[in-house]
Copies of this chain bind each other. A is one copy, B any other.
């Protein structure tokens, strides 16, 4: 494994391409999601070893729930299975999403406040039934002052820190509503391979690229 001079503190993960991968394998679209769980753990384990402090995984969004029932059921189950897998590892988990909708898996409600597994070494945020508009508006309902600090304090994802690097699998070069506030200055790396075809080399390429970027925050 390579040595990196400058690592991101917080990495955002958009694990896209599960359905396209399944179709390429001759499976039904919804069968792809279950093959996306193990790659997530490989990525988490290696980022832990590298000392990454925080990771945020894009589970599913409120927009995704417009998809056919067999798909929504499949990605809901994959999210629950992923959390059960993480519960046997070392992380502080926070699930963020709209719990008021029936599409939010009830099994995950206990994790909508941070929960430590093991030593709770790495902060892992998991977006489940998340919506960018829900994120921005939900919290703001409860605030009166709109200074910069207040905005960031009041959005639904206010416990999620600024993201340094976003890695998206599946070739698409768009954020698709992924934490718009925390992603403002994030460097965006796209992997062409579909998420179930994850390899550690994808992570290393993203980190090699990231350490060459000049962080200015507009200054």
A63 interface residue (CB < 8 Å to B): yes
A137 interface residue (CB < 8 Å to B): yes
Q: How many residues of A contact B (CB 8 A)?
A: 37
Contact B137 A151 (CB under 8 A): yes
A189 interface residue (CB < 8 Å to B): yes
Q: Tell me the interface secondary structure of chain A in the complex.
A: loop
A183 interface residue (CB < 8 Å to B): yes
A117 interface residue (CB < 8 Å to B): no
Name the distance in Å between A176's Cβ and chain B's nearest Cβ: 6
A147 to B137, CA, bound (A): 7
Name the distance in Å between A173's Cβ and chain B's nearest Cβ: 5
A183 to B218, CA, bound (A): 18
Nearest B residue to A143 via CB reads: B140
A187 interface residue (CB < 8 Å to B): yes
- In chain A, positions 67-113 with a C-beta closer than 8 Å to chain B are 67
A219 contact set on B, CB distance < 8 A: 63-64, 66-67
A211 interface residue (CB < 8 Å to B): no
Name the distance in Å between A79's Cβ and chain B's nearest Cβ: 16
Name the distance in Å between A192's Cβ and chain B's nearest Cβ: 13
A217 interface residue (CB < 8 Å to B): yes
A39 interface residue (CB < 8 Å to B): no
A184 to B132, CA, bound (A): 8
- In chain A, positions 169-199 with a C-beta closer than 8 Å to chain B are 172-177, 180-181, 183-189
What are the 5 closest A-B residue pairs judged by CB atoms, nearest first? Answer: A63-B218, A137-B146, A180-B180, A173-B188, A133-B148
Between-chain CB contacts (< 8 Å), 14 pairs: A63-B219, A64-B219, A67-B219, A133-B148, A133-B151, A137-B148, A140-B146, A173-B189, A175-B183, A175-B188, A177-B185, A177-B218, A180-B180, A188-B188
